[in-house]
Amino acid sequence: MKTKQTIAVIGATGNIGSAISKNLSKGNYRLLLKGSKQDELETLVKEIKTSNSAADVEAAVCPAEAGWEADIIILAVPFGAEKEVAKKIKEVANQKIVISISNPLNETYNGLVTAPDTSAAEELQKLLPNSKVIKAFNTTFAADFTTPVIDGKQADAFIAGNDEDALQIVTELVATAGFNPIVAGDLCVSRTLENMQLLLIQLGMKYNYNWLAGWKILHH
């Protein structure tokens, strides 16, 4: 697509929000970044502009304003905060792509807080019934964004959702961020994807992967 798309990142100052913002700033996107700490946000914007003077990036005033201008909204906030953020953006997110990144982990990282017959992404879709919720970037650690090629292999990044056009657009986004995009299926596949990250976190703690780990499907 030649026409520049505007992306709002809510929770841009967090680990994954800042990593995504930095990588997407290299693509043909205009970024509107929102976090609650204005000084951290300004620092992030400066940092992105310093490393890439052509980056089209700006700090936003509030989630609703950022979402109104955006074509795509990325929620990079903890699962527990999604209800509150969804309420703020519901009206402006109508018909738009909303990317769900969160993994609904419990406090001890040994399980998910969501019931087995749902997922964080499906819960977000219930909160935003007229938006096109797409699961993406949840199986990649923040550190993978600076090193998407690990041990000589480019990490896969799985995508799930129900709208064909939206899946296509997010696939481009994931590739721009540096990963190998794989459309895994419709939105309920998010249940598997969120559990995959639970497993990766558990393995990372057990074998000390130091948060630099990812999934790779081997095939012929």
Ligand X SMILES: NC(=O)c1ccc[n+]([C@@H]2O[C@H](COP(=O)([O-])OP(=O)(O)OC[C@H]3O[C@@H](n4cnc5c(N)ncnc54)[C@H](OP(=O)(O)O)[C@@H]3O)[C@@H](O)[C@H]2O)c1
Does the footprint of ligand X cover residue 94 (CB under 6 A)? Answer: no
Does the footprint of another protein cover residue 219 (CB under 8 A)? Answer: no
Does the footprint of ligand X cover residue 55 (CB under 6 A)? Answer: no
State the minimum distance, in angstroms, from the CB of residue 44 to another protein.
21
Dist. CA 172–CA 1, nearest whole Å: 9
Q: What is the CA radius of gyration of the chain?
A: 16
Between 25 and 102, CB nearer to ligand X: 102
State the minimum distance, in angstroms, from the CB of residue 55 to another protein.
16
CB 159 within 8 A of CB 167: yes
Q: Select from 8, 44, 77, 213 the one that contacts ligand X (CB under 6 A).
A: 77
- If DSSP codes are grouped into helix, strand and coil, which group holds residue 6? strand
Which amino acid is located at 93 in the chain?
A
Stretch that binds another protein, among 16-24, 66-74, 79-87, 190-198 (CB under 8 A): 66-74
Q: Select from 71, 81, 188, 209 the one that contacts another protein (CB under 8 A).
A: 71
Q: Select from 47, 56, 58, 78 the one that contacts ligand X (CB under 6 A).
A: 78
Q: H or E element: which one contains 82?
A: helix 82-89
Dist. CA 134–CA 212, nearest whole Å: 24
Does the footprint of ligand X cover residue 128 (CB under 6 A)? Answer: no
Strand locations in 22-179 (E): 29-34, 56-59, 72-75, 97-100, 132-135, 149-150, 153-154, 156-161
Instruction: Name which of ligand X, another protein, none residue 138 binds, using a CB cut-off of 5 to 8 Å depending on partner kind.
Output: ligand X
Does the footprint of ligand X cover residue 141 (CB under 6 A)? Answer: yes
Q: Select from 59, 76, 124, 187 the one that contacts ligand X (CB under 6 A).
A: 76
Dist. CA 106–CA 114, nearest whole Å: 9
CB 138 within 8 A of CB 170: no
Which amino acid is located at 188 in the chain?
C
Dist. CA 5–CA 3, nearest whole Å: 6
Where in 142-171 is the site for another protein (CB under 8 A)?
165
Between 30 and 191, CB nearer to another protein: 30
Site residues, ligand X (CB under 6 A): 11, 13-17, 35-37, 76-79, 81, 84-85, 101-103, 138, 141-142
